[in-house]
Chain A
Amino acid sequence: MKFFGNIFVFIFVSVVYWLFNNNFPLFSIAPNLLFTSAISLAILLNPVVALSFCFFWGLYMDIMGINAFGAYALIYTLTCYAVHISKKHFDFDMPIPQIILVFVLSVLAFLFYQLLSLIFTDINPLRLKSLLIEPIVNSLLIPFVFAIFYYLRRKLKIL
């Protein structure tokens, strides 16, 4: 049952992310719903399931992107593992640690993606506006996204 719930959540979040990015970007910037969802699940779920979510969401973003194929899959997988390691030392159930975590990881992921693009494809995808604003938007979004996944896991037992 949980397996189908996971599949449903994966597809639903992917579609919502696509709809959000295509239709509701503000000043051509939209909050990265996949990234915040990946981190929320990395906090909530056991590492194997969370890694699978993150890897396939990364792959989904790679397929939709034009840059280095596999870069997002690598970054999301590493991000998930980083959250898995750090959640043993910090309590990420509260909004403030979540906000700090997402802000730091957003910036690091952004820079890592930049590095991979320069190494493997020789193109520079850096958009300064995204670098400056997206981590903040993601940080503000994470408590809400986490609350939704928390509700799905603990109350509805879907995940």
Chain B
Amino acid sequence: MNSFRTEDSQNITKIVLGIYLSIACFLLIFPSSSFVYSARALFSYVLYPSLDYGAKSEFYLRNIPKNISNLLETDQENRRLSVLVNNNIIALNHANTLIKENERLVKLLDLSFSFSWDGTWARIINKSPNNCYSSFFIDKGENHGIKVNSTVIAAHGAKVGLVGRVFEVYNKFSKVVLITDNRFSSVGVFGRDETESLISGAGKELLKMRHIPIKADIAKNTEVFTSRTSILFPQGISIGRVSKIYSKKMVMNFIVADLFPTISIGNIKEVYIINRELPRELRDIKDLRK
């Protein structure tokens, strides 16, 4: 009885296998009607739209009625156009940025015609966020005629001010030490009497102004310029404006003040390097160090 059942079961298995294999072969060999193609195309398209993005879409859309294939092609075109629109939006944003940059550069160029110094514009290529008040790199170097200790100025709107000096020069780029750096110091003048004081960086946005005589003609917003007695910098470049005077912090009859730089360091994108012949003693920095 058991062997009969096993044999029966095996026969049923073979019959079922035969039926399924026949159906599969039938589907493989005989061409389907357009209705089957349409149903299959729509079903697979809804479930697997990514199948149709490839080069095989023409094959995929074969034998399908025109209205169905139009529907699928429209969807594909819509996806392609969406990508295109997104790319165009990115390109448009880029173009707007370039237009704004162009406007800024045109203003700077116009402004540079009014400069009484020869020089060259350079773009800032690297600014470390850790010490943004210390130094940055520019895209001009020895190949472009940049020399060590050249004066670096910048413009913002109609304002022109001192930014720093060239500290290291390489073939294609240079390092600029900023007026806000701790190592920076220079002589500044202010007022009608051209009173001199020592300007130095403090590693933050504001500069320190020291050795101001008690009776000096100084007040808040007094503008301070580079001095003619400065060896490194040409005279008359705006350094900053007095933001706070510490009249009570007197050191040997001198008072101290804070100075807000004319050019805010964070806003600078391009700088102007002044080509200026330094005094002979300073031309070779190595000799000076000896």
Contact = CB atoms under 8 A, between A and B. Distances in A.
Given A69-B27, A120-B28, A121-B59, A51 B44 contact: no
B34 to A, nearest CB: 13
B59 A64 contact: no
A48 B28 contact: no
Contacts of A62: 27
B16 A51 contact: yes
Given A64-B43, A65-B44, A69-B40, A77 B17 contact: yes
A123 B32 CA distance: 18
Interface stretch (B18-26, B112-120, B234-242): B18-26
Interface in B55-98: 56, 59-60
B13 interface: yes
Contacts of B16: 47-48, 51-52
Interface string B32-59: 1000100010011001101110001001
Contacts of A121: 59
B17 A81 contact: yes
Given A64-B43, A66-B56, A74 B28 contact: yes
Given A74-B28, A77-B17, A78-B21, A63 B40 contact: yes
Contacts of A84: 13
Contacts of A69: 27-28, 32, 36, 40
A84 B27 CA distance: 24
A64 B13 contact: no
Nearest to A25: B50
Contacts, number: 76
B12 interface: yes
Interface in A13-30: 18, 21-22
A15 to B, nearest CB: 10
A142 to B, nearest CB: 23
Interface in A41-61: 46-48, 51-52, 55, 58
Contact of A64 (B21, B28, B47): B47
B25 to A, nearest CB: 7
A47 to B, nearest CB: 4
B17 A51 contact: yes
Contacts of A116: 28
B69 to A, nearest CB: 13
B28 A71 contact: yes
A77 B24 contact: yes
B48 A22 contact: yes
A51 B13 contact: yes
Given A74-B28, A77-B21, A66 B13 contact: no
A74 B24 contact: yes
Nearest to B27: A70
Contacts of B56: 66, 123
A73 B23 contact: yes
A29 to B, nearest CB: 14
Given A66-B51, A120-B29, 17 more contacts: A47-B9, A47-B13, A47-B16, A51-B16, A63-B40, A63-B44, A64-B47, A65-B51, A68-B28, A70-B23, A70-B27, A73-B24, A74-B21, A74-B24, A116-B28, A121-B59, A123-B59
16 contacts: A47-B17, A52-B16, A55-B20, A55-B23, A62-B27, A63-B40, A66-B56, A69-B32, A70-B24, A70-B27, A74-B24, A74-B25, A77-B24, A84-B13, A116-B28, A120-B28
